[in-house]
Amino acid sequence: MVFSSILFIFRFLPATFFAYYLTPQRWRNVTLLIASLIFYSWGEVRYFPIMLSVILVNYFAGLLLEKWKNRKALKKITLAVSVIFSIGFLAFFKYSNFFIENVNFLFGTSWPLLEVTKNLPLGISFYTFQIMTYTIDVYLGKIEVERNIINFGTFVVLFPQLIAGPIVKFSDISNELKKRSLSLEQIQDGIELFILGLGSKVLLANNIGALWTELDTTGFAGISTGAAWLGIIAFELQLYFDFSGYSLMAIGMGKTLGFHFPQNFNYPLISRSMTEFWRRWHMTLSGWFREYLYIPLGGNRVSVPRQYLNLFIIWFATGLWHGAAWNFVLWGLYFGVLISLERLFLRPLLDRHRIFSHLYATIGLLVGWSLFAITDMGRIGEFFGRLFTFHSGDDWMFYLRNYGITMLLGIVFSLPVLNKLREKCPKFCKYAQLPFLALVFLLSVAYLVDSTYNPFLYFRF
């Protein structure tokens, strides 16, 4: 299955870009729409009618919102229908079995789980939030309605970022959907970003992540405290390079097509607080919750107690967005608590003491990722027992010997090292760039062809 997926990608991308560049500019969105629908349907053809219905409902909702812009009641009904329709599919596929499991637990019932929802439609959490930015912004009068259904459909299913983001608002690319320019320099920049993202995902995330996978598979009962800390550090690095790598690939491919997608990561692991971390990690999701949930709830314009209630609503929703399991809810609320404490009294202390703030953020994040990585609540307690009560053993030496170099590379590249190197040695970087990118690309392709371990962690969201 992995090899067939690789073959599809290596056939799909060159053919798509070749067709796209040969197509006259006025018809390029048609080419993109067809290619994106093929891309989505190859992996999820049974969910194609859902994608099509979401496009059509929200397209016509936009037209009705424009038509009834002076009739508040009809506008509200139209917006509600479009949002409920879009959210409804997400809720059904992602949360129905979670709801059934909890009802069965609380009331002792034995309702059967729904087989159809065991596999999520690819990227449903991302494209649902993305399409909602259009109808909500049209309702609020922030953007003009899109009357061209080809342009609108292209926005929804644009293949580079369809599956795992970044979450692109309609306003981000509305002008480029109508007219965009391409230059050789832009295409070159896009290819560079794509290769760096591919290398981040394949060479770093996959290799580092094998450590955590090994620990998670064998169980936590017999591991040492050192191995537990190494394991969760590996998971953090895997998740970062997995998701930021995909985002870089998406942004790079977007550039080669003439689109400028928003930045999604800004070296989050150098953060000195949880507040700063969430301004650097998955920036498009944080921005979405701030603009479309936190501000409508009143944001900072309400009383202090209500502000903290709003924060907890946001972080409950953030946790639930990531997965239909209580560990994700706890993970979200955990960040809500820490960010609230930072607002209350921690922030001045963190600003004054650099070493303490980095230590606080590093340990705090690793604890948070433990909640994120382990879905079984009983196993979370077992893992925390290994993290915070000393258990001797030399297994950590085995893992460090096998994964130490890869983890060190991961730590180095999670810092803005390349940016600093470009600033200090621009001439060297100019000459070294092409050989470096060629090496990364060749090694990544070789790894993809040879390896069966190639998970995209955020595909399940």
Dist CA 206 CA 439 (whole Å): 17
Q: Give the count of alpha carbons within 13 A of 275, CB side only.
A: 13
pLDDT band at 117 (very low <50, low <70, confident <90, very high): low
Integer Cα distance of 418 and 16 in angstroms: 31
Which single residue is written with the structure tokens 């200090």?
A: 424
Q: What is the mean pLDDT of residues 238-249?
A: 93
Assess whether pLDDT exceeds 60 at residue 363: yes
Contacts of residue 432, Cβ cutoff 8 Å, sequence gap at least 6: none
Q: For 146-158, how does the pLDDT look when each residue is reduced to its tens digit (9 = 90+)?
A: 999 999 999 999 9
Q: Is the pLDDT confidence value at 119 over 60?
A: yes
Contacts 24+ apart (CB under 8 A), 31-37: 32/154, 32/158, 32/159, 32/257, 33/150, 33/153, 33/154, 33/157, 35/159, 36/154, 36/157, 36/158, 36/159, 36/162, 37/157
Quick one: pLDDT at residue 25? Answer: 87
Joined tokens for residue 281: 């990690």
* Catalytic residue check, 353: no
Of 21, 322, 16, nearest in space to 157 by CA: 16
Q: Which of 111-125, 164-178, 275-289, 446-460 has the lowest mean pLDDT?
A: 446-460
pLDDT for residue 457 is more than 70: no
CA distance 260 to 186: 10
Residue 426 has pLDDT above 50, yes or no: yes
Place of tokens 């629908």: 37
Average pLDDT over residues 394-411: 91
Q: How much is the pTM?
A: 0.91
Q: Which of 8-22, 43-57, 69-83, 260-274 is predicted with the least confidence, judged by mean pLDDT?
A: 8-22
- What percent of the chain lies above the pLDDT cut of 90? 61
Q: What is the DSSP letter of 416?
A: T
The mean pLDDT of 425-445, rounded to a whole number, is 84
From the candidates 282, 322, 353, 391, give the one annotated as an active-site residue: 322
In contact, 62 and 137? CB cutoff 8 Å: no
- Tell me: the pLDDT tens digits for 308-358? 999 999 999 999 999 889 999 999 999 999 999 999 999 999 999 999 999
User: What band does 7 get if pLDDT is binned at 50, 70 and 90?
Assistant: low
pLDDT at 430: 75
Q: What is the pLDDT of residue 2?
A: 42
The segment with the largest mean pLDDT, out of 341-350, 432-441, 444-453, is 341-350
pLDDT bucket at 6, cuts 50 / 70 / 90 = low
pLDDT of residue 451: 64
Per-residue confidence at 182, pLDDT binned at 50, 70, 90?
confident
Which pLDDT score is estimated for 254? 93
Q: Tell me the torsion sign for CA atoms 85, 86, 88, 89.
A: positive
What's the chain's length in residues?
A: 461
pLDDT at 429: 75
Residue 1's pLDDT is 42
Going by the DSSP 8-state scheme, the letter that residue 68 receives in this structure is T
| Residue 347: alpha-carbon gap to chain centroid | 27
Each residue's pLDDT tens digit, 197-208: 999 999 999 899
Q: How many CA atoms lie within 13 A of 355 on its CB side?
A: 0
Encode pLDDT of 13-59 as tens digits. 888 888 889 988 889 999 999 988 888 887 678 888 888 899 999 99
Mean pLDDT of the region 258-268: 94
Span 175-180, average pLDDT? 91
For the chain, give the mean pLDDT: 89
Q: What is the pLDDT of residue 452?
A: 59
pLDDT at site 159: 87
